[in-house]
Amino acid sequence: MKISCECGASILDHTDHLPNKGHIFGDRDWFSFWDKIDAAIENPPKHKTRQETVMRTRQGEPSRLVWECHHCGRLYLEDANHDLIEYFPVNKKYNAILDR
């Protein structure tokens, strides 16, 4: 994926473990997501393989993606329709908020 930032920079999403990409959970989804993880660990279906259980759990994962522009710090968040919504930081710089 390539996002053309308003500042003219390109945000590339071409691999895993990117410092400017993240996953956002709404507060209402956070606890139900962990409940699904706990259920998969504590009560795995006997007729399913580990891989099938993992994939089923991942498919129900309710996060949305977010990217931060390395140049100006704009955030691009996916909405429920996978359209991008843009947010611009007051300090107008890259803040590395998704990189720990």
Average pLDDT, the chain: 88
Is the domain of 6 the same as that of 19?
yes
The percent of residues above 90 in pLDDT, for the chain, comes to: 51
Q: How many domains is the chain built from? A: 2
Is the domain of 74 the same as that of 58?
no
pTM: 0.79
Exposure of 20 by Cβ count < 10 A (0-12 exposed, 13-18 middle, 19+ buried)?
buried
Is the domain of 52 the same as that of 33?
yes
**In the Cβ-directed half-sphere of 25, how many Cα atoms lie within 13 Å?**
11
Q: Which residues form the domain of 57? A: 26-62
Is the domain of 55 the same as that of 73?
no
Is the domain of 53 the same as that of 73?
no
Dihedral angle of Cα 70, 73, 76, 77, to the nearest 10 degrees = 110
Report pLDDT digits (tens) over 36-70.
888 878 877 776 777 877 777 777 677 899 999 99
Report pLDDT digits (tens) over 69-78.
999 999 999 9
Is the domain of 89 the same as that of 68?
yes
